[in-house]
């Protein structure tokens, strides 16, 4: 009798086990948290940037006078092109010269005035917050936002797609777009317009068409390339 019961138990157990495994519902797929928006592959460099940069960059060596008389040429990577700017989800495109508000800013080379923000209205903190939030969400800085961050500006066109930009100015000279300007002429004064949180400094930017000088360089090569710009 015991043997019969034992066999019965084993058979029953087997049936139950097979039934259970056969009818077990599929485990629900785990719910993953939403992923952050990845930074898009912004085409800041082209495949031939190495050769093109080298040729173009060397052509500019010694071309500029310092835009602030007696200033040290920045070497801190944070002040140079390519430095990350996490507060706006982007990268730095110029050379920063820290200096007190009101310090004279000079044309780094002769050229033609391409932009001068004579009547300039800075954005307020709320507008800035909204734009920076959007930039961080996007993972890059929209061009219009970047322009507002640069604040009051003067641009000088040196021909052949070469333009220098002087940004965050507290004041500008009464220049006129299209007028000739000589190297060393006063263009404005150092300030912190557009992004007061950065403190007073001159953001000096060298544009080569759509690109900026220093793009594609890093480390010692970048430091040397920036130093070589100035005579
Ligand atoms: Zn800057």
Each of the 231 residues of the chain gets a pLDDT tens digit; together they read 455 444 444 444 444 444 444 444 455 555 544 333 333 333 333 334 455 567 778 889 999 999 999 999 999 999 999 999 999 999 999 999 999 999 999 999 999 999 999 999 999 999 999 999 999 999 999 999 999 999 999 999 999 999 999 999 999 999 999 999 999 999 999 999 999 999 999 999 999 988 999 998 999 999 999 999 999
Please tell me the distance between residue 159's alpha carbon and the centre of ligand 1 in angstroms: 23
Residue 213 domain-assigned (yes or no): yes
- CB-based contact 133:145 (threshold 8 Å): no
* Segments forming the whole domain that contains residue 85: 62-229
Residue 182 lies in a domain: yes
Distance 91 CA to ligand 1 centre (A): 10
Cα 141 to middle of ligand 1, angstroms:
14
* Contact of 181 with 222, CB cutoff 8 Å: no
Nearest to 187 by CA among 208, 164, 162: 164
Residue 9 lies in a domain: no
Closest CA to 165 of 101, 224, 208: 208
Q: Is residue 166 included in any domain, yes or no?
A: yes
Number of domains into which the chain is organized:
1
What pLDDT is stored for residue 52 in this prediction? 58
Rounded to the nearest whole angstrom, what is the distance from the C-alpha of residue 173 to the centroid of ligand 1?
A: 21
Which pLDDT score, from 0 to 100, does residue 37 have? 34
Asked if the structure places residue 127 within a domain, the reply is yes
- Give the Å distance between the CA of 27 and the centre of ligand 1: 53
Residue 56 included in any domain: no
Q: Give dist(CA 40, CA 72) in Å, integer.
A: 35
Expressed in angstroms and rounded, the spacing between residue 167 Cα and the centre of ligand 1 is 8
Residue 120 lies inside a defined structural domain of this protein: yes
54 Cα: distance to centroid of ligand 1 (angstroms): 23
Bridge partners (DSSP) listed for residue 201: 98, 191
Element (H, E) at 165: strand 162-169
CA distance 227 to 64: 10
pTM: 0.78
* 188, β-bridge pairs: 105, 172
CA of 23 to the centre of ligand 1 (A): 65
CA 110 / ligand 1 centre spacing (Å): 22
The Cβ-side half-sphere exposure at 107, using a 13 Å CA radius, reads 25
Give domain status of residue 109, yes or no.
yes
Q: How far is the CA of 174 from the centre of ligand 1 (A)?
A: 23
**What does the DSSP 8-state code read for residue 149?**
H
CB 94 within 8 A of CB 205: yes
The CATH number of the domain where 151 resides is what? 2.70.70.10
> What is the distance between the alpha carbons of residues 6 and 4, in angstroms, rounded to a whole number?
5
């Amino acid at each position: 009798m015991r043997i019969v019961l034992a066999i019965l138990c084993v058979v029953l157990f087997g049936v139950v086990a097979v039934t259970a495994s056969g009818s077990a519902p599929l485990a629900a797929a785990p719910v993953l948290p939403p992923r952050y928006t990845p930074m898009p592959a912004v085409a800041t460099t082209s495949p031939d940037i190495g050769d093109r940069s080298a040729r173009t960059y060397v052509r500019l060596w010694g071309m500029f006078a310092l835009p602030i008389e007696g200033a040290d040429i920045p070497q801190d990577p944070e002040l140079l092109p390519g430095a990350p700017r996490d507060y706006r989800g982007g990268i730095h495109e110029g050379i920063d010269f820290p200096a007190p508000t009101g310090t004279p800013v000079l044309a780094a080379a002769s050229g033609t005035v391409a932009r001068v923000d004579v009547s300039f209205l800075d954005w307020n903190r709320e507008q800035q917050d909204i734009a920076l939030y959007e930039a961080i969400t996007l993972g890059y800085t929209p061009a219009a936002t970047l322009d507002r961050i640069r604040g009051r500006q003067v641009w000088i066109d040196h021909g052949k797609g070469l333009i220098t930009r002087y940004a965050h100015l507290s004041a500008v000279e009464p220049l006129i777009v299209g007028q000739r300007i000589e190297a060393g002429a006063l263009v404005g004064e150092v300030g912190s317009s557009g992004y007061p949180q950065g403190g007073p400094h001159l953001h000096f930017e060298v544009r080569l068409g759509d690109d900026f000088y220093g793009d594609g360089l890093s480390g010692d090569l970048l430091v040397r390339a920036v130093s070589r710009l100035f005579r």
